[in-house]
Amino acid sequence: MKSLPAASRRLAGIAACAAAMLLASAPGAAIAQGYPTKPIRFVVPFPPGGATDIITRTVAQKLSEQLGQPVVVDNKPGAGGAIGSDLVAKAAPDGYTILMATTSTHSIGPALNARLPYNPERDFAPVSLVATSPNLLVVTPAIPVNNLREFIAYARAHPGQLNFASSGTGTIVHLSGELFKRMAGLDMVHVPYKGTALAVPDLINGQVTMIFDNIVSAMPQVKSGKVKVLAITSAKRSSLVPDVPTMAEAGLPGYTSDTYFGVFAPAGTPKEIVDRLSREIARAVNAPEVRDRLAAQGAEAVGGPPAELAAAVRGDAEKWGRVIREAGVKVE
């Protein structure tokens, strides 16, 4: 009988601890439950009309429907995405200003420019990996090759005589070419353009030999027979072009090159808000109409959690940073 009061006291203590834990978690839960109570600003660090802008607007529209608040897309281009990214890094960490970042802004940019005003890991809270977009390796019909192995053999037999186009020095299109050169052991000359669209006519007529181009812009030229597609840069075949082999399948094991699109909030944004946004973005990008719209831009929907986005940033920063150093890439 004497043990009963002691047991009662232990039960009371357990109940008190549980109540304290509930109280401690209540503010965060209340924040998440009430969020959002006003419009969300969704910053795109690139001009209107490009792939990043279209992907962001597609996701924003669906998020608006799900959250019951406007999600307003705000284009803040300039400095390779640094201006818009820095704006979000310095915004209030309340979940009402978010960023659609890419490989360029968060993995390549810091390796190219040590004076960037933001640090991708220190100044941002990863929210969700939205989509990835591979490129196609396409070549001019002016050379006698029909697959990747033939192309590598031909390039090795003509050192210094072939070239590859890009959308500009330091872009992922350029770095994809540099990585290809190094992994295949090729001597090729880089020819930068102000966008891949400007390089395509020269690719068709043989002024340039090859380029890594977006699926959407490359496939019309491939289907018309104006250029040849040799491989896709993703680790596995894409449902967008299922007949195109991966670089590994085509003859260069270990080669991959994707652009990621991911949502970030300012560092210090409450975890409950980050988690809510992450869940809603995953739900949005997996909606059939959103997946179809992303596919129209050559992107595959992902909707991954914060940890997956953080891993993508770190992995690509290490990968492209090494390419930049080894190839001596510098942007004036």
Of 218, 209, 214, 227, which Cα lies nearest the Cα of 164? Answer: 209
Q: Where does the pLDDT of residue 331 fall: very low under 50, low under 70, confident under 90, or very high at 90 and above?
A: confident
pLDDT of 23 > 50? The answer is no
Of 58, 50, 59, which Cα lies nearest the Cα of 84? Answer: 50
Question: Which tens digit of pLDDT belongs to each residue from 38-56?
Answer: 999 999 999 998 889 999 9
Question: Which tens digit of pLDDT belongs to each residue from 76-88?
Answer: 999 889 999 999 9
Q: Where does the pLDDT of residue 29 fall: very low under 50, low under 70, confident under 90, or very high at 90 and above?
A: low
Percentages (nearest 5) of helix, strand, coil residues in the chain:
50, 20, 30
Distance CA 271, CA 95 (A): 10
- pLDDT of amino acid 217: 85
Distance CA 246, CA 256 (A): 8
Domain boundary assignment for the chain: 38-132+258-327, 134-250
Distance CA 79, CA 109 (A): 10
pLDDT of 20 > 50? The answer is no
- pLDDT of amino acid 2: 44
Is residue 193 within 8 A of residue 168, CB to CB? The reply is: yes
Instruction: Calculate what percentage of the chain has a pLDDT beyond 70.
Output: 90
CA 233 remoteness from chain centre? 14
- The CATH number of 38-132+258-327, from 3.30.70.520, 3.40.1710.10, 3.40.190.150, 3.90.1150.10, is 3.40.190.150
Question: Which tens digit of pLDDT belongs to each residue from 234-263?
Answer: 999 998 899 999 999 999 999 999 999 999
Alpha carbon of 330 to those of 106, 175, 322, 325: distances in Å? 17, 11, 13, 9
pLDDT of 25 > 80? The answer is no
Q: Where does the pLDDT of residue 114 fall: very low under 50, low under 70, confident under 90, or very high at 90 and above?
A: confident
Of 170, 173, 154, which Cα lies nearest the Cα of 162? Answer: 154
Strand partners, 80: none
Q: Which CATH number describes the domain made up of 134-250?
A: 3.40.190.10
Fold agreement (38-132+258-327, 134-250): yes
Of 95, 103, 46, which Cα lies nearest the Cα of 71? Answer: 95
